[in-house]
Amino acid sequence: MNPATRSPLMWVVHLSVLLIVALWTLPTAGLLISSLRDKDQLAVSGWWTSLSTSSQNIVVRAPGPETQVERDGKFVISGNLLEGQQGRISAFGFNSREPAAFKAGETAELNDGEKLTVQADGNFEIVSDKKMEGSRGQRVFVTASSPPRFTFDNYGEVLSAEGIGRSFINSLTVAIPATIIPIMIAAFAAYALAWMPFPGRAILIAVVVGLLVVPLQMSLIPLLKLYNGVGAFFGVPAKTYVGIWLAHTGFGLPLAIYLLRNYMAGLPREIMESARVDGASDFDIFVKIILPLSFPALASFAIFQFLWTWNDLLVAIVFLGAGPDELVLTGRLVNLLGSRGGNWEILTASAFITIIVPLIVFFSLQRYLVRGLLAGSVKGG
Amino acid sequence: MLFQLVKAAGFMLGGVIGCAAYFWGTSFILDLIFPSKGKSGAVASRNLRITNAIRPWLFLGPALLALTIYLIYPVFMSLWYSVHDRAGQNFVGLSNYVWMVNDGEFRQSIYNNFLWLLVVPALATFFGLIIAALTDRIWWGNIAKTLIFMPMAISFVGAAVIWKFIYDFRPEGSEQIGLLNAIVVAFGGDPQAWITLPFWNNFFLMAILVWIQTGFAMVILSAALRGIPEETIEAAVIDGANGWQIFFKIMVPQIWGTIAVVWTTITILVLKVFDIVLAMTNGQWQSQVLANLMFDWMFRGGGDFGRGAAIAVVIMILVIPIMVWNIRNAAKEMKGH
């Protein structure tokens, strides 16, 4: 291909990749931006407008006649319609048919002889010659434009009031032991399957490959029964952290054994044979030679398992209680979707807290993740 | 709170030390009972043979125990529960299965799962392949790949929130804060409550899984594309093939095996899809799927373990062909070594 025919085609490639990347990142970006916006702005305008000054029509009720004061023989109600919020009022009105009849700074004559003046900064005055009566304040329609506001308030709120902070600790409590423990168990098993000859080895490997795809759903009911039985027998709660650590260990083992066995089987035979000639036992060979050499595979699996246990919802809601000291982040988020379905400031901030840890792991350790995926999928079944 | 973390760290440490102690201790005891060092030739070789026969099982022991308790035993027990009543006590024959076939919600789930199976693996693999091919040609391809791969790290529930925000619906006339409705309105359409539209809502939920899984497909297919021998492509160029022909007639056929692996892996995932449906619709508006229905029956009205297990068995049966295919591939692979 010569450069002349190549360049327009390359432009198409660049543009289409750019489009795809935008499509794949915008959803997450929208979540992040929204979580940082002021909740009143978030509720009325899309996140893509968050950098522009937003204009909104709001209805405010002025304080009632009981707040009027007499000044120079006139009765006055005054205050600020924006109540300390930042923003500018461009227009106002007192009638829902003409909500923007007057410009800021003008004086409107209300139906009963009262005069309403609204300034751009929100200060207003209702002036009347006679004492104002009635129990409710005057309705005022204003067109207010507010500058973009970004804040960490949403995060502060979900971390304390919505229990996300506590759930964060719970998720860590679940994920870390559930990542470390299967690695130990799987590494020894993988070594046995890779380098120790014994009858039935091929069948065992086939069983592990088969178990890779057994749906979790098959395990739920029998294990729930088993856990309840064990709990009742020993007089301990059925849903405990120990229970979920062991459950994650069991469910993670097929992939762990499979990945590690594939990797270990690819290590050069000569190293082990020379060590054996020097009188090293299988245990020594494993601990001193195989384990250090298998570090990339161990790291790959650790990342998979951590992401899977942190992101898991099903195992957590079946095998762990729903109390505040046990509910994990994903479970909490599902609950919030039900109870605070319309409060996007809470949902976006909560969701971002639940995905930030996996994202950090992903961006810092992506190399190992990719290597693990390739070892698991391209090589074997 | 602090106590909880200390407890978790303690368990972790205890688990690791326990594992180490088990493996080291059993090896030590084995060598103590059947010593091979410092013995005469015949005894040493006999002992060595015995230890070599026993040691693999010591290494495998904990793993086999965990696999048996958490995966093998439950498979058989689920079969057993599926022919028993809701509490798992009285044998009821096939009545759970009969109920299932006549249940409208189950048939809806099967239909929806079928749609998912048709759409998600195909789209994710297709996008993955195209993106892999495109990004391999540009200098910033790796950055693009990282960004497209990123949703893989996000939980299904997190992804559900992200996309629910995109599908958010406000009544006509008020400003839309959901991206999809904002685009529709900008082009003069009417806003829709997307996830409540029967039939179509399935596709809006599928989009989430495609978004997550495309990165997986892309990473694996990209590696496969790079593994294609240069000569085959050069030969095609010399023969005057154009870009499309090279891609579809030379490159794609050489990576069919990998495409099949990606396809089946995503298929398995689709059969188990649960979190997305639970978080987005919980099966309302005719968007139910098998895994969510199974979970529902596990706890509905105190829980019906018979029906729940029967649905789980259906999922298992759907997985079996892929399982067999995987095992045969792995066996072929092992013979090659």
Q: Å from A76 to nearest chain B CA?
A: 35
CB contact under 8 A, B11 and A24: no
Q: Å from B8 to nearest chain A CA?
A: 6
Sign of CA dihedral B66, B68, B69, B72: positive
Domain edge (last residue) among B82, B104, B132: B82
* Lowest-confidence pick of A152-166, B73-87, B304-318: A152-166
User: For A118, phi and psi rounded to 5 degrees?
Assistant: -120, 125
CB contact under 8 A, B70 and A202: no
The per-residue pLDDT for range A31-67, each reduced to its tens digit, is: 999 888 888 788 888 888 877 776 777 777 888 777 8
Question: What pLDDT is recorded for position A321?
Answer: 81
Question: What pLDDT is recorded for position A257?
Answer: 94
Q: Are residues B120 and B49 in the same domain?
A: no
Instruction: Say whether pLDDT at A154 is over 80.
Output: yes
Q: Does residue B10 lie in a domain region? A: no
Measured between alpha carbons, how far is B286 from B308 in angstroms, rounded to an integer? 19
Question: What pLDDT is recorded for position A381?
Answer: 31
- pLDDT category of residue A91 using cuts at 50, 70 and 90: confident
Angle A315-A350-B292 from CA coordinates, rounded to 5° = 35
CB A318 within 8 A of CB A239: no
The per-residue pLDDT for range B217-254, each reduced to its tens digit, is: 999 999 889 888 888 888 888 888 888 888 888 889 99
Residue type for A95, please?
A: N
Q: What is the largest CA-CA distance in chain A?
A: 111
- pLDDT category of residue B316 using cuts at 50, 70 and 90: very high
Alpha helices in chain A (DSSP H): 3-35, 39-44, 153-160, 164-195, 201-211, 216-234, 241-265, 269-277, 282-284, 291-293, 295-311, 314-319, 329-339, 344-374
Measured between alpha carbons, how far is A341 from A276 in angstroms, rounded to an integer? 63
CB atoms within 10 A of CB A80: 14
CB atoms within 10 A of CB B11: 19
* Lowest-confidence pick of A111-125, A279-293, B124-138: A111-125
Question: What pLDDT is recorded for position A162?
Answer: 81
Please list, residue by residue across A239-251, b when 16 or more beta carbons sit within 10 angstroms of its beta carbon and e when fewer do. bbbebbbbbbbbb
Q: Are residues B33 and B104 in the same domain?
A: no
Domain edge (last residue) among B33, B54, B82: B82
- The rounded percent of chain A whose pLDDT value lies above 90 is 30
Bridge partner residues of A89 (DSSP): A144
Alpha helices in A36-139 (DSSP H): 39-44
Residue A52 vs residue B149, higher pLDDT: B149
- pLDDT category of residue B336 using cuts at 50, 70 and 90: low
Q: Are residues B202 and B72 in the same domain?
A: no
User: For A262, phi and psi rounded to 5 degrees?
Assistant: -55, -45
Q: Are residues B61 and B148 in the same domain?
A: no
Q: Are residues B78 and B100 in the same domain?
A: no
- pLDDT category of residue A376 using cuts at 50, 70 and 90: low
Whether residue A311 lies within 8 A of chain B, CB to CB, comes out as yes
State the total domains in chain B: 2
The per-residue pLDDT for range B263-281, each reduced to its tens digit, is: 999 999 999 889 999 999 8
The CATH superfamily assigned to A156-379 is MetI-like (1.10.3720.10)
CB contact under 8 A, A185 and B334: no
Q: Are residues B186 and B228 in the same domain?
A: yes
Q: Å from B199 to nearest chain A CA?
A: 22
Q: Does residue B88 lie in a domain region? A: no
Whether residue A58 lies within 8 A of chain B, CB to CB, comes out as no
Mean pLDDT for A315-321 is 90
Domain definitions of chain A by residue range: 54-146, 156-379
Instruction: Say whether pLDDT at A330 is over 50.
Output: yes
Measured between alpha carbons, how far is A210 from B2 in angstroms, rounded to an integer? 40
Question: What pLDDT is recorded for position A3?
Answer: 45
Residue B302 vs residue A237, higher pLDDT: A237
Chosen for mutation from A18, A160, A262, A377 (greatest number of chain B CBs closer than 10 Å) is A377
Q: Are residues B191 and B216 in the same domain?
A: yes
DSSP secondary structure string, A2-54? Answer: -HHHHHHHHHHHHHHHHHHHHHHHHHHHHHHHHHTB-HHHHHHS-GGGTTSPE
Residue B123 vs residue A196, higher pLDDT: B123
Which residues from chain B sit within 8 angstroms of residue A224, using beta carbons?
A: 298
What CATH number did the domain enclosing B108 receive? 1.10.3720.10
Which residues from chain B sit within 8 angstroms of residue A181, using beta carbons?
A: 12, 15-16, 19
Please list, residue by residue across A175-212, b when 16 or more beta carbons sit within 10 angstroms of its beta carbon and e when fewer do. bbbbbbbbbbbbbbbbbbbbbbebeebeebbbbbbbbb
ipTM confidence: 0.90
Q: Are residues B61 and B119 in the same domain?
A: no
- pLDDT category of residue A113 using cuts at 50, 70 and 90: confident
Mean pLDDT for A362-373 is 86
Mean pLDDT for B281-291 is 90
Cβ burial of A4 (10 Å; 0-12, 13-18, 19+) is exposed
Average pLDDT of the residues of chain B: 89
Instruction: Say whether pLDDT at B305 is over 50.
Output: yes
Residue with tokens 């579809």: B248
The per-residue pLDDT for range A238-290, each reduced to its tens digit, is: 888 889 999 999 999 999 999 999 888 888 888 888 888 887 877 888 888 88
Closest by alpha carbon to B295, among A365, A319, A173?
A319
Which residues from chain B sit within 8 angstroms of residue A169, using beta carbons?
A: 1, 4-5
Contacts of A19 (CB under 8 A, 6+ apart): none
The per-residue pLDDT for range B55-111, each reduced to its tens digit, is: 889 889 999 999 999 999 999 999 999 999 888 888 988 999 999 999 999 999 999
Whether residue A65 lies within 8 A of chain B, CB to CB, comes out as no
Q: Does residue B219 lie in a domain region? A: yes
Whether residue A221 lies within 8 A of chain B, CB to CB, comes out as yes
If contacts are CB pairs under 8 Å, which of residues 289-308 in chain A contact chain B? 307
Instruction: Say whether pLDDT at B158 is over 50.
Output: yes
Which residues from chain B sit within 8 angstroms of residue A45, using beta carbons?
A: 175, 177
Q: Are residues B70 and B139 in the same domain?
A: no
- pLDDT category of residue A73 using cuts at 50, 70 and 90: confident
Q: Are residues B285 and B138 in the same domain?
A: yes
Range of the domain at B30: 15-82
Measured between alpha carbons, how far is A246 from B294 in angstroms, rounded to an integer? 23
- pLDDT category of residue A378 using cuts at 50, 70 and 90: very low
CB B201 within 8 A of CB B281: yes
Q: Does residue B146 lie in a domain region? A: yes
